[in-house]
Amino acid sequence: MDLKPYKLLNRIQHYAWGAKNQDAYIPALLGKKTEPDKPYAELWIGTHPNASSTLFADGENHLLQDWISRNPDAILGQDVSRRFGGQLPFLLKVLSAGEVLSIQAHPDKMQAEQLHKRDPEHYPDDNHKPEIAIALDALTALVGFKSSEDLVDTLNQYPEILDFIGADQAQNFISKPDENLKQLFSTMMSRSLSFPDQLQDAINRLANRLSVSSNQTEADSLFLQLRNIYKEPDIGLFTLFILNLIHLNPGEGIFLKAGIPHAYVKGNIVECMANSDNVVRAGLTPKFKDIETLTRILTYEQGVPEIYKILDKSVETHYQPPVSEFQLQRLDIEKDRSVEIRMETGIQILLMIEGAVQIQRNSDESINYKKGDSILLPAGLKQYTIKSEESARIFIAEPGIS
């Protein structure tokens, strides 16, 4: 097998919340025509069977995992191949949210194994799905429960939500918020299933009040906007008030470990995760909601998880979350520069966000790549050089440190 860079061909997922028309980032990145009114939600780069990447070699197309399986030690690297049973441990995505995604959380490894065994239709993978999201432009997201202080304020400022939860439960929470978040959230979720009419009524009352309010918060206007999309009583419309609404600048990232509720609201991101598609949904979705599982797997930690900041003008930005499956770096290279990359953990996948480069291994031939290309670099290359022909922005995904 020739150890050289291979260009990958990747699949697009057209989920309904994906960005459309002139907002569609993914076809613009790939230099493809945008079909009118078609949503372009996610580009999947990896081996996941729902939408595997392929590569062309020896005169034919191969599924990426088939290609890796021919020589896992040379492609993944010996250590990675041993640690992950010959499988690529991560899935890299470009995600482009035109509308808010469902509010969700992901199971940890043990929970994922149990869920998959019990309900393989809704939980297709037995793997956990820690994920990192890095903003390509401005990203708005709902992430993690608010602090106790903020939650008490929220219940006082939104009597419609308090009434729906029930005065007793709400008072329990207000008097001892640090101990009663799980109870508060579980009550809210289970009542949404038992009393959909009361939920609809509470949503209508809040909408009527907010629509004539002269000082709407950002969450208020998000609620009003989403209520026009979710006509059925959806508890997600209330959940958005009890999570933190955050904004990331380009290059900033956030790591979501198991059990943290979250929803991307708007923006384009590069996302990397363990190779899994396990999602437990809580609201803002017409899809299957598994509220019993959700309330059980959440960690009920409060506050905003740590945000990865970027240093101005640095060529390399590293994102190293505490997982063994993946880490990322972002390279910002000016025109006519060259950068040596050492492959320290094994296989790498490059994603070109901007610009044009040449990649050269050893001293022999160099290959040209441009914006939108994604490239597999087998571990056996050990090192290579990137030469920028135009200023370039590149993400590199690779396995984490064991």
Whole-Å CA distances, 165 to 172, 187, 195, 238, 242: 11, 6, 11, 10, 13
What is the rounded distance in angstroms from the CA atom of residue 87 to the CA atom of residue 326?
Answer: 13
What 3-state class would DSSP assign to 334?
A: coil
Please say whether the beta carbons of 260 and 305 come within 8 A. yes
Sheet (strand 54-57) strand order: 60-63, 54-57, 6-9, 374-377, 348-354, 392-398, 327-333, 316-319
What is the rounded distance in angstroms from the CA atom of residue 1 to the CA atom of residue 376?
Answer: 14
Whole-Å CA distances, 295 to 187, 291, 328: 10, 6, 31
Catalytic residue among 70, 82, 191, 281: 281
Burial class, 396, CB count within 10 angstroms (exposed 0-12 / middle 13-18 / buried 19+): buried
Length of the chain: 402
Paired strand residues for 163? none
The letter for the amino acid at 283 is: G
Please say whether the beta carbons of 247 and 73 come within 8 A. no
Angle at 125 between CA 124 and CA 128, to 5 degrees: 135
What is the rounded distance in angstroms from the CA atom of residue 94 to the CA atom of residue 123?
Answer: 22
And the tokens for 378?
A: 């087998």
What 3-state class would DSSP assign to 188?
A: helix
Task: Examine the residue annotation and report whether 330 is marked as an active-site residue of this protein.
Answer: no
Please say whether the beta carbons of 73 and 87 come within 8 A. no
Provide DSSP, 212-241: T-SS--HHHHHHHHHHTT--S--THHHHHH
If we measure between CA atoms, which residue out of 368, 374, 338, 327 comes closest to residue 353? 374
What is the rounded distance in angstroms from the CA atom of residue 45 to the CA atom of residue 266?
Answer: 21
CA 329 to chain centroid, in Å, comes to 16
Cite the active site residues.
Answer: 281
